[in-house]
């Protein structure tokens, strides 16, 4: 009898427990979880507790792009030089971070480590691999939903390129008073030759000079030549047929040095050349200039140009994180998009913090590691595509000589460990923020912060594609509040861009017509396990935190 009573009591308890659990789940299930009263163990735990919304990845040209400098990225064969098979071995790593496109700096045959002086546009440098390796890379990328962008260097070739070798040999053979003829040597019109010595020109033969604005090893191409444009047309076709998804255009302001109008004319031709072959091909240009200048380049129809105003050690992001006014971040986004959209309504901004030509952001922002996290988040929240330079997800350092900005990817602490490259640095760089291996073991790391931030870009299309409005009455020197609107949906982003705790009162702010009390927290980015506290219309935000509300 006692056993039967105990059994009935146990059954009743189980039913009550089931009912109670059902009520709790009905009210708070999955995406309804909040930060209230949750004691997180670390930053990753805190972010994962809130960032539970389903991914909403749109297959268009708004992407999260991972930049790879192949020489220093990952070695697969033990020669300490990064290669294509090494990149293939790390595609899952890139995908796990949330990136859905890669830009690889030049991989064509070249006498230098950086490969920006091409000797053959139709091949792969043997130190990196083969055409077959590159074809495998394209397939492996596409199997993972990753687009691949090829670096296209059209301002110049190497002086070892067969075109220049033939042209310079011919020019040296000319007798005094003779003029070069394309009928005698077709390649002589591929470059710019003159008897007049000018700035950025080097001597060839007894009385001739050739244009080489970067250095003598990089002779400038004559982009007015129909023969050169035909070559470019063939090069583009060759790689599009292989399956590349787009191109990064090197040094577009140098196509015609000092002549923006001619540069835009050439880019207009090139954009049409590429899009006629593949309508959805993506093109991003390096127009190293201020926004007022590069906005004009959008008249060419090119999809994107890198946003240098926000990046580098003198840009908006670094300036604010070194003590500038947070609210200027929002106003600068609005003014930037006003400029570029006026030139091309389909423009896709290309935000970043550092690249292979700039000092890394970790050296730019010494001090609190929260600054490094916030720097990447600020680049992601601008809108458009987001570019991360390999190693910035773990806070690698490097400045000064170009070689130092292209240090070996820090996979592990052992410089002879698996995948490690010798790099090309001119000095020993102390990477004080750890390796991929050590940061994956630290749930408060920059690595996991970047992963969560990219996840939110992949969850809320408003971040990349939305029109930005600054909620000025809630923004100040340390806090900026943005509203992103896309396809009728609105997302509120509240950013505490400081190490201080800030209280933000959102009274009177509406999202999709609803007042603050109806807002739901749908995402968060945090420096530590300390979470944002929401009380009605008020947020208490720890240092370097971001809250996403709908």
The token pair at 421 is: 């490259």
Of 74, 94, 91, 92, residue with least CA distance to 83 = 74
Q: Within 10 A of 436 (CB to CB), how many other CB atoms are there?
A: 19
Residues 6+ apart with CB under 8 A from 34: 28, 50, 521, 534
CB 356 within 8 A of CB 69: yes
Tens digits of per-residue pLDDT, 404-418? 999 999 999 999 999
Tell me the C-alpha distance between 268 and 301, whole Å.
Answer: 6
For residues 281 and 245, is the Cβ–Cβ distance under 8 A? yes
Indicate which residue of 117, 151, 250, 462 is catalytic.
Answer: 250
Catalytic residue among 211, 286, 462, 478: 286
- Contact present, 483 and 490 (Cβ < 8 Å): yes
Sheet holding 545-549, edge to edge: 467-470, 479-486, 489-496, 545-549, 521-525
Q: Is 536 left (phi over 0), alpha (psi -120 to 50) or beta?
A: left
The answer to whether 108 touches 125, Cβ cutoff 8 Å, is yes
Tokens of 131: 């055409």
Angle ∠(330,334,337) on CA atoms, nearest 5: 135
pLDDT value for 19: 34
For the chain, the distance separating the N- and C-terminal CA atoms, rounded to the nearest angstrom, is 57
Other C-beta atoms closer than 10 Å to the C-beta of 513 total 7
| Residues whose CB is less than 8 angstroms from the CB of residue 11 and which lie 6 or more positions away in sequence, other chains included | none
CB atoms within 10 A of CB 288: 17
- 295 and 340 in contact (C-beta within 8 Å)? yes
Whether 123 is catalytic is: no
Residue 526 CA: distances (Å) to CA of 142, 319, 372, 523, 536: 32, 21, 12, 10, 21
Q: Which listed CATH number (2.40.110.20, 2.60.40.1180, 3.40.50.300, 2.40.160.10) goes with 32-53+466-549?
A: 2.60.40.1180
Where exactly are the structural domains of the chain? 32-53+466-549, 64-155+222-459, 162-211
Q: Is residue 516 a contact partner of residue 475, using CB atoms and an 8 Å limit?
A: no
Q: Token pair 């609105």 is at which residue?
A: 490
Q: Angle at CA 509, nearest 5°, toward 506 and 515?
A: 100
490 contacts 550 by C-beta, under 8 angstroms: yes
Gyration radius of the chain over CA positions: 27
Q: Cβ distance 436 to 96 under 8 Å?
A: no
| Beta bridge mates, 479 | 496
Q: Does the annotation count 265 as an active-site position?
A: no
Element (H, E) at 485: strand 479-486
pTM of the model: 0.92
- Cα(343)–Cα(20) distance, integer angstroms: 58
Backbone angles phi, psi at 194, to 5 degrees: -155, 155
SS3 274: helix
CATH of 64-155+222-459, one of 3.40.640.10, 3.40.718.10, 3.20.20.80, 3.40.50.720: 3.20.20.80
Here the tokens at position 371 are 């600054």
- Per-residue pLDDT of the chain in tens (550 residues, 90 and over written 9): 433 433 434 443 443 333 333 332 223 333 334 456 799 999 999 999 999 999 999 999 999 999 999 999 999 999 999 999 999 999 999 999 999 999 999 999 999 999 999 999 999 999 999 999 999 999 999 999 999 999 999 999 999 999 999 999 999 999 988 999 999 999 999 999 999 999 999 999 889 999 999 999 999 999 999 999 999 999 999 999 999 999 999 999 999 999 999 999 999 999 999 999 999 999 999 999 999 999 999 999 999 999 999 999 999 999 999 999 999 999 999 999 999 999 999 999 999 999 999 999 999 887 778 999 999 999 999 999 999 999 999 999 999 999 999 999 999 999 999 999 999 988 888 899 999 999 999 999 999 999 999 999 999 999 999 999 999 999 999 999 999 999 999 999 999 999 999 999 999 998 988 876 678 999 999 999 999 999 989 999 999 999 999 9
């Amino acid at each position: 009898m006692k056993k039967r009573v105990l059994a009935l009591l146990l059954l009743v308890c189980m039913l009550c427990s089931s009912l109670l659990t059902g009520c709790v789940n009905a009210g708070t299930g999955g995406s309804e979880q909040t930060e209230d009263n949750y004691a997180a163990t670390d930053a990753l735990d805190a972010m994962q507790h809130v960032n539970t919304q389903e991914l909403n990845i749109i297959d268009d040209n708004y992407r999260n792009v991972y930049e790879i400098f192949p020489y220093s990225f990952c070695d697969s064969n033990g020669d300490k030089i990064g290669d294509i098979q090494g990149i293939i071995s790390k595609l899952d790593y890139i995908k796990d971070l949330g990136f859905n496109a890669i830009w690889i700096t030049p991989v064509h045959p070249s006498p230098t480590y950086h490969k920006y002086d091409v000797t053959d546009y139709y091949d792969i440098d043997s130190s990196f691999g083969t055409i077959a390796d590159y074809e495998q890379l394209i397939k492996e990328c596409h199997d993972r939903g990753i687009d691949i962008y090829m670096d296209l260097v059209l301002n110049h070739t190497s002086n070892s390129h067969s075109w220049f070798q033939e042209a310079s040999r011919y020019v040296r053979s000319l007798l005094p008073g003779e003029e070069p003829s394309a009928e005698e040597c077709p390649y002589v019109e591929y470059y710019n030759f003159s008897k007049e010595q000018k700035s950025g020109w080097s001597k060839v033969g007894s009385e001739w000079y050739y244009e080489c604005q970067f250095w003598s090893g990089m002779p400038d191409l004559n982009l007015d030549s129909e023969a050169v444009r035909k070559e470019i047309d063939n090069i583009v076709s060759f790689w599009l047929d292989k399956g590349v998804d787009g191109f990064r255009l090197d040094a577009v302001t140098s196509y015609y040095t000092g002549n923006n109008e001619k540069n835009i004319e050439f880019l207009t031709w090139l954009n049409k050349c590429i899009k006629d072959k593949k309508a959805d091909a993506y093109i991003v240009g390096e127009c190293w200039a201020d926004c007022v200048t590069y906005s004009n380049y959008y008249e060419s129809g090119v999809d994107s140009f890198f946003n240098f105003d926000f990046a580098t050690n003198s840009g908006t992001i670094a300036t604010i994180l070194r003590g500038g006014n947070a609210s200027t971040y929002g106003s600068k986004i609005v003014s930037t998009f006003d400029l570029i959209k006026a030139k091309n309504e389909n423009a896709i901004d290309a935000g970043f913090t550092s690249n292979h030509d700039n000092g890394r952001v970790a050296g730019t922002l010494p001090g609190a590691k929260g600054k490094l996290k916030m720097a990447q988040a600020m680049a992601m929240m601008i809108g458009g595509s987001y570019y991360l330079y390999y190693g910035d997800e773990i806070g690698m350092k490097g400045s000064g000589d170009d070689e130092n900005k292209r240090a070996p990817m820090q996979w592990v602490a052992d410089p002879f460990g698996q995948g490690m490259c010798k790099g090309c640095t001119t000095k020993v760089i102390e990477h004080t923020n750890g390796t991929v291996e050590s940061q994956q073991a630290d749930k408060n790391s920059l690595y996991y912060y970047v992963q969560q931030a990219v996840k939110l870009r992949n969850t809320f299309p408003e971040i990349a594609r939305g029109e930005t409005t600054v909620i000025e009455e809630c923004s100040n020197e340390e806090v900026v509040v943005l509203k992103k609107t896309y396809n009728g949906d609105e997302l509120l982003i509240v950013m505490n861009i400081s190490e201080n705790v800030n209280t933000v009162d959102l009274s009177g702010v509406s999202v999709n017509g609803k007042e603050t009390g109806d807002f739901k927290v749908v995402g968060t980015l945090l420096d530590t396990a300390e979470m944002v506290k929401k009380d009605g219309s008020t947020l208490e935000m720890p240092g370097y935190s971001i809250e996403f509300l709908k």
